[in-house]
Chains A and B, each alone.
Chain A
Amino acid sequence: MSKVTMAKSHLMGLVGDEDTCTAFLLGGIGELNNAREPNFLVVKKDTTIGEIESALRKLMGRKDIGIILINQHIANDVRHIIESHTAAIPAILEIPSKEHPYDSAKDSILRRAKGMFSVEDMR
């Protein structure tokens, strides 16, 4: 007898500046009701790093969130939390913002891969 598993739907979390949050919420990922906390945090100029850390930890602890999107320039401020996160779900993905283009040098995968492959290794 084959097992039929119903895949449970998950939300996408978001920690971003005003433009990024407007963009992704326009895409339809935002969820807000009294039953649970919002799945996004709008980081403004007066938002402290403590608030960002707290929001990110809450999102990471939620079982209904599959992926957390975070602006790269905001991720730089909470790098220690991101690097200590080893679970597959929720996955954390750094995204560019309107005013801060994506810096490949700070991408975790590209940094690990850099210098790993060289011509000398293939001899």
Chain B
Amino acid sequence: AVVSTQSTGKVFATMDKLSAYEDLLAELCTLFQEGHMLMSKCNLRSGFESVSADRLPRQGVHEVKAITTLVINEANDCSVQSREPEKPKLRKRKNVSKKEDERGNSPQKENEKKTSQKIVPESEEKEKDTEKEELIKLPDDPLNWFGLLSPTALQQAQERFRAAIARSVELCNLKQELSKDIGEIENMRANEL
């Protein structure tokens, strides 16, 4: 088939994009492999399945907000938008001393107060439980879902997968451009014939 200069130029540009597409795919696969390797390393050190799907949030039980989202412009190009995860608040330990405090309360007196409290019937307790039934809010940073002291290997794995997410988005944008270009080339060739 005879190809005009216009379609030849288009073909060359598309071939360059295809090459970039294959490179991005290879990079994505490498990032995945490295990330999974680091996760396996973490499991080896921290215990079997310490980093596994069992620790993932469950519907109806947990509440989680995404820290990595997408921004889509008018041309349907996607870009990654990440926010800083909120750090878990540290609970302050109360200094409980055996001696009486300033108000004159002692631990023994406090225990007596607790035992003399009115006993709430079970039905009222259940009503209170259902009112208080809320989703468990998991830590903002997914790293903390697998324990507060996250191993270095897990942190490195997270970096790999974040990079993999960015590559996936780039790959998606390139795929859309290629799909459009290949369609145009097919049309051009059909018209030339």
A89 touches B72 (CB 8 A): yes
**Contacts of A66 on B, CB cut-off 8 Å?**
70, 72, 78
Pick the contact of A117 from B11, B52, B63 — CB < 8 Å? B11
Taking the complex as formed, is A49 at the interface, i.e. its CB lies under 8 A from any CB of chain B?
Answer: no
Closest chain-A Cβ to B165's Cβ sits at a distance in Å of: 5
**Contacts of B169 on A, CB cut-off 8 Å?**
67
Interface residue ranges of A24-38 to B (CB < 8 Å): 24-34, 37-38
Not counting A12-B168, A67-B169, a sample of 10 additional A-B residue pairs whose C-beta atoms are within 8 angstroms of each other reads A7-B73, A9-B81, A18-B53, A23-B161, A26-B154, A31-B64, A98-B32, A110-B18, A113-B178, A113-B182
The verdict on A7 contacting B71 (CB below 8 Å), with A27-B165, A67-B172 known, is yes
Closest chain-B Cβ to A10's Cβ sits at a distance in Å of: 4
A91 touches B82 (CB 8 A): no
Taking the complex as formed, is A1 at the interface, i.e. its CB lies under 8 A from any CB of chain B?
Answer: no
Complex: A91 Cα to B76 Cα, angstroms: 10
| Chain B residue total in the interface (Cβ 8 A) | 65
Taking the complex as formed, is B44 at the interface, i.e. its CB lies under 8 A from any CB of chain A?
Answer: no
Interface string of A65-105 (1 = CB under 8 A from B): 01101000000000000000000110101011010011010
Interface string of B51-67 (1 = CB under 8 A from A): 11101111110111111
Taking the complex as formed, is A116 at the interface, i.e. its CB lies under 8 A from any CB of chain B?
Answer: yes
Pick the contact of A25 from B25, B56, B82, B178 — CB < 8 Å? B56
The verdict on A21 contacting B56 (CB below 8 Å), with A93-B171, A112-B182 known, is yes
Output the residue of B28, B56, B171 with the most chain A CB within 10 A.
B56
Q: Which residues of A contact B (CB under 8 A)?
A: 5, 7-12, 18-19, 21-34, 37-39, 42, 66-67, 69, 88-89, 91, 93, 95-96, 98, 101-102, 104, 107, 109-110, 112-113, 116-117, 121-122
**Contacts of A23 on B, CB cut-off 8 Å?**
32, 35-36, 39, 157, 161, 164
A93 touches B175 (CB 8 A): yes
B168 touches A95 (CB 8 A): yes
6 A-B pairs with CB atoms under 8 Å apart are A7-B72, A12-B165, A28-B85, A32-B62, A37-B59, A95-B32
A122 touches B3 (CB 8 A): yes
Output the residue of B18, B32, B85, B178 with the most chain A CB within 10 A.
B32
A22 touches B53 (CB 8 A): yes
A30 touches B53 (CB 8 A): no
Complex: A28 Cα to B82 Cα, angstroms: 9
Taking the complex as formed, is B68 at the interface, i.e. its CB lies under 8 A from any CB of chain A?
Answer: yes
Interface residue ranges of B1-41 to A (CB < 8 Å): 1, 3, 8, 11, 14-15, 18, 21-22, 25, 28-29, 32, 35-36, 39
A91 touches B175 (CB 8 A): yes
Interface string of B174-193 (1 = CB under 8 A from A): 01101100100110000000
The verdict on A38 contacting B178 (CB below 8 Å), with A27-B142, A117-B15 known, is no
**Contacts of B32 on A, CB cut-off 8 Å?**
23, 95-96, 98
